[in-house]
Amino acid sequence: MDNYKNSFNLSIRNNIFDLFPGYNCTSISFKKDKNGEECDEFDAKYLYIYLEQDKEVEINTPYHCPKCNSTSIRRHGLFEVEIADTPIGDKKVILVITKPRYKCKECQKAFFQDIIFKHDQYRMTNRLYYYILNSCKKIPLSIVKIATELDIDRNIISRIKNDLKEQNDIKD
Ligand SMILES: [Zn+2]
């Protein structure tokens, strides 16, 4: 099992920069339930992937305050966010992302940079959002099925389905 985990780990690490630009994978863990205890890959329903913003990317990214535009900012601790990603095999995937928080020296506003692969309205990656949109197209009535399969609140799936209606991609 350890060998499997190591090779799985390695293949994720090798692909991480393509999948999640600007981030490195620090570790992975398999869990039976959301926020549950770690378990063997075989028993796991969830794969947790821990990501940290790449130091070099951080240093080379010019930051400015979103409120007053000042470039006079300082680091102000770390921020951790969990977002859902598309399943890998039979595992649901949760990304645990650690990134720096900043504070403006001029106006004191605390902020952090956007995560480019995160959807701006939902706690999920852009690619999971499009995965759900496409699922809604394929089986337009089965919100419950999609919600159960991905273990995502059915209200969220419904909202995404409404996004689809607004785009006029499906007709009632
Ligand atoms: Zn400011």
Please tell me the total count of domains within the chain: 2
Q: Strands 91-104, 46-53: parallel, antiparallel or unpaired by DSSP?
A: parallel
Assess whether 61 and 145 both reside in one domain: no
- pLDDT exceeds 90 at position 14: no
Assess whether 62 and 20 both reside in one domain: yes
Assess whether 42 and 72 both reside in one domain: yes
> From the CA of 65, how far away is ligand 1's center (Å)?
5
pLDDT, tens digit (0-9, with 9 covering 90-100), for 145-155: 889 888 899 99
Final residue before a domain boundary, out of 99, 117, 135: 117
pTM for this model (two decimals): 0.80
Assess whether 36 and 79 both reside in one domain: yes
pLDDT, tens digit (0-9, with 9 covering 90-100), for 61-115: 767 898 999 999 998 888 899 999 999 888 899 999 998 899 999 999 998 888 8
Whether residue 106 contacts residue 65, with contact meaning beta carbons closer than 8 Å, is answered with: yes
> From the CA of 54, how far away is ligand 1's center (Å)?
24
Q: Kindly report the backbone phi and psi dihedral angles of residue 132, in degrees, each rounded to the nearest multiple of 5, phi listed first.
A: -70, -45
Whether residue 28 contacts residue 50, with contact meaning beta carbons closer than 8 Å, is answered with: yes
> From the CA of 111, how far away is ligand 1's center (Å)?
9
> From the CA of 67, how far away is ligand 1's center (Å)?
5
> From the CA of 70, how far away is ligand 1's center (Å)?
5
> From the CA of 57, how far away is ligand 1's center (Å)?
22
* Cα 49 from Cα 29, distance rounded (Å): 7
Give the C-alpha distances (Å, rounded to integers) separating 32 from 4, 25, 50: 17, 21, 17
Assess whether 139 and 109 both reside in one domain: no
Assess whether 154 and 97 both reside in one domain: no
The proportion of the chain whose per-residue pLDDT surpasses 70, expressed as a percent, equals 85
Whether residue 170 contacts residue 137, with contact meaning beta carbons closer than 8 Å, is answered with: yes
* Cα 14 from Cα 19, distance rounded (Å): 10
Which secondary-structure segment (H or E) carries 138? Answer: helix 126-138
State the pLDDT at residue 1.
43
Assess whether 72 and 87 both reside in one domain: yes
Q: C-alpha angle with apex 83: 119 to 36, nearest 5 degrees? A: 165
- pLDDT exceeds 60 at position 172: no
* Cα 58 from Cα 21, distance rounded (Å): 12
> From the CA of 103, how far away is ligand 1's center (Å)?
8
- The residue segments making up the domain with residue 136 are 119-172
Assess whether 101 and 33 both reside in one domain: yes
- pLDDT exceeds 70 at position 12: no
* Cα 49 from Cα 65, distance rounded (Å): 29
